[in-house]
Amino acid sequence: MDVAIVGGSGYGGVELIRFLYHHPHVDQIKVVSHSKANERFSDIYPHMKDHVDLTMESMSVEAISQYVDVVFFATPANVSSKWMPELIKSGVKCIDLSGDFRLKDQEVYEEWYGYDAADAETLKEAVYGLTEENREAVKQAQLIANPGCYPTATLLGLMPAVHHKLIDLNSIIIDGKTGASGAGRSLSQNVHYSEMNENTKAYKLGAHKHIPEIEQWLSKTASEEVTVQFTPHIVPMTRGIMTTIYGNLSTDYSQQKMNDLYQDYYKNDPFVKVYTNNHYPQTKEVYGSNYCAIAVHVDERTNKLTVISVIDNLVKGASGQAIQNFNIMHGFDEKTGLELLPIFP
Ligand SMILES: NC(=O)C1=CN([C@@H]2O[C@H](COP(=O)(O)OP(=O)(O)OC[C@H]3O[C@@H](n4cnc5c(N)ncnc54)[C@H](OP(=O)(O)O)[C@@H]3O)[C@@H](O)[C@H]2O)C=CC1
Ligand SMILES: CC(=O)N[C@@H](CCC(=O)OP(=O)(O)O)C(=O)O
């Protein structure tokens, strides 16, 4: 299978290459870059020297659709929406790491992203790639809207309780923490070393584009309109997302029953681990891997459920989940190429 990565010179791109380069079903990788065409990939990422022999190329949409079977987009918002109509018409499968196809309502996209939405016809083709929740649709999809990093951790943390109607859906509060790599490789003041080292700060309160993404999936799952309170924070680490999620319990449910429910819910999902031994997973425990690790706490005193959910933003929160979806779309074992253990410490 031949694949192209558009925006291959960024963090999402280098992670895709880390996993795809030795993927047993991938023959050729085209790394598409406009700013760095003709440069060697290992000159941009010297740790790849002698491992990855690829040169970045500038390719038109026509050339891409002619030469490859699958296109991954690791580009900022407002890029894939421009390329996609032609690619979809040509029959190529596409997996988009950006948010351009995640929100089904064009007005909502325009309000939260500030760009023109993707065209309605192409948007209809998009399948939300939260793998564990949408596996059957992913199997049939031509276009995957790969979820955002915070929504991946949040939704996987909430789904068992939501499906079993154990929390009041309009009481959900999400406290999110991310490392600097979430902002991508391009320079952003938010992640300037001297402003994030030994510092923790909240940002985009009530305005983060992951709010409508989380609400859309919760509302679809619950068949009612759900709103959430979400506050993201940047903490001084490179990789990792932790979401600490609170909700009011809507029924009497013991810690033991909640543990059993969560464990049972994810028993067939190879990349979700549920801890039931009073261990609360840490971001370091999933570093570099495609795992989401979850633990739940039932507080009978306050009648609240707390969920801790951690992922590596660049893997399960982006490139790893994209490859999990790629595997499923093509009938490969979903673990193919992704069975790396986390790096610790
Ligand atoms: N970082 C993360 O943790 C996560 C990121 N995402 C999403 O994945 C996407 C990629 O993120 P990330 O890799 O971190 O970002 P980076 O900034 O590291 O890389 C983005 C790449 O996109 C390319 N690019 C930039 N502008 C344009 C443009 N106008 N047209 C075409 N290509 C362009 C650039 O490559 P070149 O100049 O070589 O073409 C650049 O290297 C984003 O949409 C991001 O929101 C999703 C989940 C998590
Ligand atoms: C540290 C930092 O700035 N993180 C970014 C992560 C955004 C991201 O990756 O967005 P998508 O997952 O929607 O593509 C942010 O919170 O806006």
- Tell me: the pLDDT tens digits for 253-267? 999 999 999 999 999
**Ligand 2 touching residue 179 (CB < 6 A):** no
CA distances from 234 to 147, 191, 198 (A): 19, 8, 11
Strands 201-202 and 272-275: unpaired
Which CATH code fits 150-313? 3.30.360.10
* pLDDT for the residue 89: 96
Atom of ligand 2 nearest to the CA of 151: 12
**Ligand 1 touching residue 209 (CB < 6 A):** no
| Residue to mutate (ligand 1; options 97, 109, 210; most atoms within 8 A of CB) | 97
Centroid of chain to Cα 186: 19
Q: Name the one residue in this structure whose structure tokens are 């790893």.
A: 320
**Ligand 2 touching residue 148 (CB < 6 A):** yes
For 125-179, the pLDDT digits (tens) are 999 999 999 999 999 999 999 999 999 999 999 999 999 999 999 999 999 999 9
Question: What ipTM describes this predicted complex?
Answer: 0.96
* pLDDT for the residue 218: 98
- Whether 46 shows a pLDDT value over 90: the answer reads yes
- Whether 187 shows a pLDDT value over 80: the answer reads no
User: Exposed, middle or buried, 24 (CB in 10 Å: 0-12/13-18/19+)?
Assistant: exposed
**Ligand 2 touching residue 157 (CB < 6 A):** no
Measured in Å, residue 189 CA sits from the centre of ligand 2 at 14
Task: Provide the residue ranges of all domains of the chain, joining segments of one domain with +.
Answer: 2-147+316-329, 150-313
Can you give the three-state secondary structure of 47-83, one letter per residue? HHCCCCCCEEECCCHHHHHHHCCEEEECCCCCCHHHH
- Whether 186 shows a pLDDT value over 90: the answer reads no
For 306-345, the pLDDT digits (tens) are 999 999 999 999 999 999 999 999 999 999 999 999 999 9
Q: How far apart, in whole angstroms, are the C-alpha atoms of residue 192 and residue 213?
A: 27
Percent pLDDT > 90 in the chain is: 98
Catalytic residues: 149
Per DSSP, the three-state class of 309 is strand
Q: Which has the closest alpha carbon to 160: 323, 26, 298, 65? A: 298
**CATH class, range 2-147+316-329:** alpha beta
2-147+316-329 and 150-313: identical CATH topology: no
